[in-house]
A and B are shown apart, each in its own frame.
Chain A
């Protein structure tokens, strides 16, 4: 049985001659959560954007189940209906109430009945703790609330896979966990996801597999417990070190210590 949902095969993408993705291949199986980490500009976001056709790849191919989805110019919306995506900047539609944001895709793109979707939407809003905001305008919501709505909006399309592109990067620190807890809840429910994030503790908590991307290439991939505690490549070690800092009470740190 083939349970591969997404198959990315040797894709290349460059912007103005700069190779942003240089031969990336990966597979994501059903129910798997793959977290993609790497330094800024390594091509993480571009990779996600290529998967649902927001960027057109230069070469290589992308398959969703057994269907080739790269290189198509017609009916791209049918592909995107199966691939959910949430961005850093929430991108709720500001002129619509929360509920209308949620209903738009299922009722217009999937032609579902409004009453049916509305019921489902209310249930999901309740699950993420936002039932009372169902008929509010997005501008009255906090960043964390907006992002939870954006997650519900993507999930209501019942996608085969969900792509999350640094969804907490624009949030105030105290709102990060309320959003990430929703993601962890989705992961527990068996949602297949590809997640780009800079939150390493979250990555460790949610990932089935970590992919380390640098200079447009996959440098290392493995289970989170292995990757975070004992990265194999020097570049990954170096990258992970950038998330730790020296303590001012660490006496023997170096000559920059002026305390004595």
Chain B
């Protein structure tokens, strides 16, 4: 392996990592919000919106992100709806991630005992207060492993942003590889950079999960 080549291209990878991380995190944040919203619509059985949320979740989970991005970037402009590549990236990732996050939140909320909800109601809390103080903290504790798994999954999925001509990690590596050869070095650095981004997230997930286990709920 050519160490000089690797060192020379560290800045390229850093800028790619910045794109990956930035738009990945935008997507993750929006996914969490969308997921929570969908989960609540279904939990409260809000008429019509609940069905829309359910349909959306199936659509998003059963189509590839690549196809979703193509649809946004190449399909919609044909009917006059045009987004920038960056907007497509965030919207696409949110579209996919929202569905997964909704399911993770649902697993959490469904794990909260019905009697807990009743106990909250019985001390005169409004439904909103009950969710905020009683249901959500307990649901979150159960959902945390799935939520973290989704975060890691979504950041990895950003590798398809390259089809939007965004200079994310994947595109940086692709460009280097096709222009100068050195396939091994280029791909090696690509793997290492993804690992450096995602390993801390994994470690954080483990720490949070362990902490929750020690705090141990159990009635």
B is bound to A: yes
Q: How far is the CB of A136 from chain B (nearest CB, A)?
A: 13
Task: Pick the contact of B121: A77, A93, A108 (CB < 8 A).
Answer: A77
Contact B219 A80 (CB under 8 A): no
| B79 at interface by CB-CB < 8 Å | no
Complex interface: chain A residues within 8 A of B63 (CB): none
Residue of B nearest to A102 (CB): B123
For A, the interface residue count at a CB cutoff of 8 angstroms equals: 29
Alpha-carbon gap, A94 to B217, bound state (A): 5
Contact A104 B217 (CB under 8 A): no
Task: Pick the contact of B116: A77, A91, A157 (CB < 8 A).
Answer: A91
Q: How far is the CB of A123 from chain B (nearest CB, A)?
A: 19
Complex interface: chain B residues within 8 A of A109 (CB): 123-126, 129
Contact B141 A77 (CB under 8 A): no
Binds B, one of A5-13, A81-89, A186-194, A244-252: A81-89
Alpha-carbon gap, A92 to B120, bound state (A): 9
Alpha-carbon gap, A103 to B217, bound state (A): 19
> Which residues, 183 to 219 on B, are CB-close (under 8 Å) to A?
215-219
Query: Given A138-B219, A139-B216, are A91 and B119 also a contact pair (CB < 8 Å)?
Result: yes
For B, the interface residue count at a CB cutoff of 8 angstroms equals: 24
Contact B124 A91 (CB under 8 A): no
Complex interface: chain A residues within 8 A of B138 (CB): 93-95
Alpha-carbon gap, A110 to B125, bound state (A): 9
Contact B115 A91 (CB under 8 A): yes
Residue of A nearest to B127 (CB): A77
Contact A52 B122 (CB under 8 A): yes
Residue of B nearest to A110 (CB): B124
Residue of B nearest to A108 (CB): B129
Contact A91 B118 (CB under 8 A): yes
Complex interface: chain A residues within 8 A of B127 (CB): 77
Contact B124 A157 (CB under 8 A): yes
> Which residues, 118 to 172 on B, are CB-close (under 8 Å) to A?
118-127, 129, 133-134, 137-138, 141
Query: Given A108-B133, A139-B218, are A93 and B116 also a contact pair (CB < 8 Å)?
Result: yes
Complex interface: chain A residues within 8 A of B216 (CB): 139
Alpha-carbon gap, A76 to B125, bound state (A): 9
Contact B119 A104 (CB under 8 A): no
Q: Which 3 A-B pairs have the closest CB atoms?
A: A81-B124, A105-B123, A91-B119
A52-B122, A83-B122 known; 14 new pairs, CB 8 Å cut-off, are A54-B121, A77-B121, A77-B127, A80-B123, A82-B124, A87-B115, A93-B119, A93-B134, A94-B218, A95-B215, A95-B217, A104-B123, A105-B123, A109-B123
A-B contact pairs, 21 of them (CB 8 A): A54-B122, A77-B121, A80-B122, A83-B122, A84-B122, A85-B122, A87-B115, A89-B115, A89-B219, A91-B116, A91-B119, A92-B119, A93-B133, A94-B138, A104-B125, A104-B133, A105-B123, A109-B123, A109-B126, A110-B124, A157-B123
